[in-house]
Amino acid sequence: MPAERTSPFPASTVLGYPRIGPDRELKRALERYWDGHATAGELRQEGARVRERTWRHLRSLGLDALPSNTFSYYDQVLDTAVALDAVPERYRGPSPLDTYFAMARGAPDVAPLRMTKWFDTNYHYIVPEIGPDTVFRPVPDKAVAEAREARALGLDTRPVLIGPVTFLLLAQAAPGAPKGFHPLDRLGDVLDVYGRLLAALAAEGVSWAQLDEPALVADRTGAELDAVRQAYEHLGTLTARPGLFVASYFGDLGEALPVIARTPVEAVGVDLVRGRTPVRTLGEELAGKTVVAGVVSGRDVWRTGRDRALATLRALRAHVDRVVVSTSCSLLHVPHSLERETGLDPALLRRLAFADEKVAEVVELARLLKAAPRVEPFPAPDVHGGTEAGLPVWETRSPYPVRAAAQAEHLGLPALPVTTIGSFPQTDELRAARAALARGELPVPDYEDRVRAEIERAVRVQERLGLDVLVHGEPERNDMVQYFAEHLDGFAVTRHGWVQSYGSRCTRPPILHGDVHRPAPITVRWARYARSLTDRPVKGMLTGPVTIVAWSFRRDDLPLREVMLQVADAVRAEVLDLEAAGVSVIQVDEPALRELMPLRRAAQDAYLAWAVAAYRRATSGAGDRTQIHTHLCYSDADQIIAAVDALDADVTTVESARSHGRVLREPAVRDFGRGLGPGVYDIHSPRVPAAGEVEELLEAVLRVLPAERVWVNPDCGLKTRTYEQVEAALATMVAATGRLRARLAPQPSSSSSSV
């Protein structure tokens, strides 16, 4: 019996912890290695330091059960693919580390695997590729090594892997897989390998393993629920294995709850912050199991309501075998610690908790739970989401065809206009200057001179390469959300509150804690300056209300749609000011539109209705001659193309190259009634695309869309690239466009079918 073999789950834990390091040590080590300034050994040493610090620190905070294998050099989904040896042959390189980074970032002659959003967070994972012929093999090295490493420090840990069902649901079919194949078809083979991974962990003396199954909080088909049953029946009945803890997070288990409850796994993790399942139901279903109760939010920065959390824990304990106090999900999504945030208003500071403070809350709640008398089962208060009405929209724009004609006349652009998404490389010098400005070591006028010089550099490059709609390059911005937060009332920003976004890239999500107002125009000055440098149109560049809210930690005392409305009004005012300053093309980015989408279908239409309304409220003040652009990236735009159309932007640029033109296969794209720019090169990889690749993608676009509505642009902004890479890639893009224009020229009014 597993129960005899397994020691009880300790009283407090977290599902995961930030891994970038309190000073972003891992980020720096990775980038040094990638730039050739550090050896693999030096990178490994830094990794080991980050892990050791994490385990020791968590124990010093009083946490009982420590997770391991939550460290990653790039991404935990990629790590799980490697643990199953699900490595496409084209990536295999001279060393496992090279192979790993080739999958994540590409290599000179091979594009990386697709990267996309991790559920509804701003974290991105690498999408594994599984085909009918993928040969799985257990590679327990990393998980075993980390458990061993911690053991050498005198600390027992619980290795964490992505669970088999979530892993396969998140994977995509390998190129060349037969139509109708889905990675989940390989469940049987994958389970065999998970079994062997678990056996290796048991042989290492590990008493518990955590299998993350966040995919179970979204709607699942009967076949998918059968897969859950099959997976955990199989793994649960293995003899050589640690105790099994299946962790769900980001919502309710819903119909997966009774399925998982009837399998022999010993522990189940439930999200009691976002979940709405009554405690009584959870208790009845999970009676006889250990419940890892996620009462401390891993998705926000607010302190936990102690009394309410304790009441939930006590109610749960009345039903189930054992209650472990935990976070609702990994703490990967919040910054390390408040300790160094000396600049925050003390009144706000008292309301906040970052990862370390949340760990302390978990520990304290476990202590209080232990001390609290047992209660008879009673129903905890149920919380209901309620329905939310749409936002009022102020429609002032004419129908698209009227606007399109006015804009064509006003802008006089060629066929297939070439543009970029907004940012140009953020050079080390620029970042250093901004850091010096923040320290008070660089006077504001000197900093602004540098920004002006950067704008001029970006404009000259674009003119020289022959782009049609220019951008100013966003050099004055540290981040496309933080910059606006710094200029709006109602937000606070942190000094060190870094959260990983993908690989080594991080953001400092602002804290939206009060009513939002725009005290003064934000972008107009720089837009004016950029316009003064050139005769070509320069896009005004704004971040949309959905994205500003999505990428901030937001207040929870107002409904989300009301918070968004306040931000939409601030953006609307900025659009009007840009227009009044003579800016004829204004881009309002909404890359996070898809991200905030509820995971359950029942809530999605209502969300899209008010998210779209917020966007339209922000942009509908613009006159007909003003061309409104929007941009979405990593947004699985194919899934929401109808809502994207409803944004009513004149031009939409979307990610496409990194997902190999997937968006083009979406039937709704053919019906997309406005300008569309499916990205023709992947900016997230240092690789410069070959001319043939760009041209092929453009040809594919032109087979689907009428040429008069096609725009040519990269997948996303260029801030993470170098000028050298950008100039080469943009030159390729412009040259490919020139060749296609020449082929279109004899039939200027015909559609794309001739291309």
Ligand X SMILES: N[C@@H](CCS)C(=O)O
Using CB under 6 A as the binding rule, whether residue 717 contacts ligand X is answered as: yes
Q: How far is the CB of 724 from Zn ion (least distance, A)?
A: 21
Amino acid symbol at 724: E
**b/e map 366-385, b = 16+ CB within 10 Å:** bebbeeeeeeeeeebeeeee
By beta-carbon proximity to ligand X, the closer residue of 112 and 283 is 112
423 near ligand X, rule: CB under 6 A:
yes
Which of 426, 626 has the CB closer to ligand X?
Answer: 426
Of 243 and 422, CB closest to ligand X: 422
Residue from the set 263, 304, 523, 720 that interacts with ligand LYWDKB7T by CB under 6 A: 720
Q: Which residues are annotated as a binding site for 5-methyltetrahydropteroyltri-L-glutamate?
A: 27, 122, 505-506, 551
- The token pair at 461 is 């490059």
**Site stretch for ligand X (CB under 6 A), options 255-263, 373-381, 420-428, 516-524:** 420-428
**303 versus 505: smaller Cβ distance to ligand X:** 505
Interface with ligand X, residue 159, by CB under 6 A = no
DSSP classification of residue 91: G
In terms of Cα–Cα distance, which of 156, 182, 191 is closest to 64?
Answer: 156
**Strand pairing of 115-117 and 124-126?**
antiparallel
- The binding site for L-methionine consists of 421-423, 474, 589
Backbone phi, then psi, for 32, in 5-degree steps?
A: -65, -45
Q: How far apart are CA 146 and CA 561, in angstroms?
A: 43
Give the whole-angstrom CA distance, residue 729 versus residue 737: 12
541 binds, among ligand LYWDKB7T, ligand X, Zn ion, none (CB under 5 to 8 A by kind): ligand X
Q: Does 473 bind ligand X (CB under 6 A)?
A: no
Tokens of 103: 């999958």
421 lies in the binding site for ligand X (CB under 6 A) = yes
Segment near ligand LYWDKB7T (CB under 6 A); pick from 48-56, 171-179, 286-294, 506-514: 506-514
Identify whether the C-beta of residue 335 lies closer than 8 Å to the C-beta of residue 508: yes
Please give the Cα distance from 350 to 373 (Å, whole number). 29
493 binds, among Zn ion, ligand LYWDKB7T, ligand X, none (CB under 5 to 8 A by kind): none
Task: Choose between 141 and 441: whose C-beta lies nearer to ligand LYWDKB7T.
Answer: 441
The secondary structure of the chain in percent helix, strand, coil, rounded to multiples of 5, reads: 45, 15, 40
Taking residues 518 to 547 in sequence order and writing x for each that binds ligand X by CB under 6 A, - otherwise, the string is -----------------------x------
Which residue in 336, 472, 496, 684 is the catalytic one? Answer: 684
Q: In what order do the strands lie in the sheet with 675-678?
A: 540-543, 585-589, 627-632, 651-654, 675-678
CB 426, min distance to ligand LYWDKB7T, A: 5
> DSSP character for 13?
B
Q: What are the start-end ranges of the H helices in 302-439?
A: 306-317, 346-349, 355-371, 400-411, 428-438
- The one of Zn ion, ligand LYWDKB7T, ligand X, none whose footprint includes residue 500, by CB under 5 to 8 A per kind, is none
At 664, the amino acid letter reads L
Does the annotation count 124 as an active-site position?
A: no
CA 438 from centroid of its chain's CA atoms: 27
Q: Is 554 or 631 the residue whose CB approaches ligand X more closely?
A: 631
Instruction: List the one residue from 127, 633, 640, 647 that touches ligand X (CB under 6 A).
Output: 633
Task: Write down the least CB distance from residue 462 to Zn ion, Å.
Answer: 18
Q: Which stretch binds ligand LYWDKB7T (CB under 6 A): 311-319, 423-431, 640-648, 649-657?
A: 423-431
Residues 658 to 697: which contact ligand X by CB under 6 A?
Answer: none
Determine the Cα–Cα distance for residues 507 and 745; give it in Å rounded to an integer: 45
CA distance 335 to 510: 11
Geometric angle at alpha carbon 408, from 527 and 466, rounded to 5°: 60
Stretch that binds ligand X, among 83-91, 164-172, 365-373, 421-429 (CB under 6 A): 421-429
Interface of this chain with ligand X, residues 571 to 630, rule: CB under 6 A: 589, 591
The encoded tokens of residue 290 equal 């250990």
Report which of 357, 361, 364 is spatially closest to residue 340, judged by C-alpha positions: 357
Return d(Cα 667, Cα 750) in angstroms, integer: 21
Please identify, using beta-carbon distances, which residue of 244 and 633 lies nearer to Zn ion. Answer: 633
Residue ranges in 627-656 that form contacts with ligand LYWDKB7T under rule CB under 6 A: none
Site string for ligand LYWDKB7T, 539-568 (x = CB under 6 A): ------------x-----------------
* 172 belongs to the binding site for ligand LYWDKB7T (CB under 6 A): no
How far apart, in whole angstroms, are the C-alpha atoms of residue 8 and residue 338? 32
Please, what is the minimum distance in Å from the beta carbon of residue 424 to ligand LYWDKB7T? 13
Which residues make up the interface to ligand X (CB under 6 A)? 421-423, 480, 541, 589, 591, 631, 633, 716-717, 719
Active site residues: 684
